[in-house]
Amino acid sequence: MQKNPVLPAHSSLVAIGDSFTEGMSDLASDGSYRGWADVLAGRMAARTPGFRYANLAVRGKLIGQIVEEQVDVAVAMRPDVITLVGGLNDTLRPKCDMDRVRGLLSEAVERLAPACEQLVLMRSPGRQGPVLERFRPRMEELFDCVDELAARHGAVVVDLYGAPSLSDPRMWDVDRLHLTPEGHRRVAEAVWQTLGYDPEDTEWRTPMAATAPPGWVARRVEDARFTKQYLLPWIGRRLTGRSSGDGRAPKRPELLPYEA
């Protein structure tokens, strides 16, 4: 007689990281950002009465700031599940000490893994395009470190970098740095399945149906808009040592019962 599989019964989730986990470009009706972590928490809460959730992620944070500002807070909460996505902002800086990034990421994992039942790490998604190619070697070095740390500390890895659907430019917002709501939904599905829940979308890796690409003029107009509205301000912040997250508090700083 075949036994029914044991379904997960997680009662709490803490998400830490940067804008990817904060949920940027997935706008809620009240103007705040939702994102994959909120979507995931909503699904988990629907299965587990009293489910608690905190999201400590703040846009623009480097891995050193995540370690300094978020890791100890997450450890003190002792949740069932912790998700950590960090280090990618470091790799996008003109000057990046990858030895330091790996060391800080290792420190974070070493402290987080014993503080929860399941630590979730990720290989972040990468948008197709010429800008990414410059930083791809650093990104892949970071992801190799993620894989090594997961194997050493019993964490699971969600491979978003290897998902064809998430490299599609149509999954990315006009700033070319953050996923669209559909992209965030697919990330939530990926984490959901990695944690052992029954799939709600078995095709999350499958790319969207092909459409005719925009014409040359439309692409140039969009490139000009992107450069003025997003790229130049981003470069300006890098040159002056500022961050989009300066002075910003986490959106869900306490581990409280989930409310949509």
Average pLDDT over residues 116-127: 94
Where does the pLDDT of residue 2 fall: very low under 50, low under 70, confident under 90, or very high at 90 and above? very low
Q: How much is the average pLDDT of 12-21?
A: 97
Q: Each residue of 162-219: pLDDT tens digit?
A: 999 999 888 988 777 889 999 999 999 999 999 999 999 999 999 876 665 666 555 5
Strands 52-55 vs 12-17: parallel, antiparallel or unpaired: parallel
CA dihedral 39, 41, 43, 46 (to 10 degrees): -140
pLDDT band at 229 (very low <50, low <70, confident <90, very high): low
pTM for the model stands at 0.87
Which among 113, 101, 178 has a CA at the least distance from the CA of 144? 101
- Residue 63: the pLDDT is 97
Residue of 244 and 140 predicted with greater confidence: 140
pLDDT, average across residues 113-126: 96
In whole angstroms, give the CA distance from residue 149 to residue 195.
18
> How high does pLDDT run on average in the chain?
87
The mean per-residue pLDDT over the stretch 128-145 comes to 84
In whole angstroms, give the CA distance from residue 255 to residue 86: 20
Q: With a cut of 50, say whether residue 248 has pLDDT above it.
A: yes
pLDDT digits (tens, 9 = 90+) for 39-56: 999 999 999 999 999 999
Q: Of 62-76, 210-224, 235-249, which gets the smallest average pLDDT? A: 210-224
First to last CA, the chain: 40
Q: Which residue has the higher pLDDT, 193 or 235?
A: 193
Report the DSSP beta bridge partners of residue 13. Answer: 53, 81
Q: Which of 3-7, 80-84, 122-126, 138-142 has the lowest mean pLDDT?
A: 3-7
Is residue 125 exposed (0-12), middle (13-18) or buried (19+ Cβ within 10 Å)?
Answer: buried
CA distance 187 to 158: 9
Over 80: is that where the pLDDT of 74 sits?
yes
Q: By mean pLDDT, which of 15-29, 39-53, 217-231 is the weakest?
A: 217-231
Average pLDDT over residues 59-79: 97
Interval 140-167 mean pLDDT: 96
pLDDT at 93: 85
pLDDT value for 6: 67
* pLDDT at 234 (0 to 100): 55
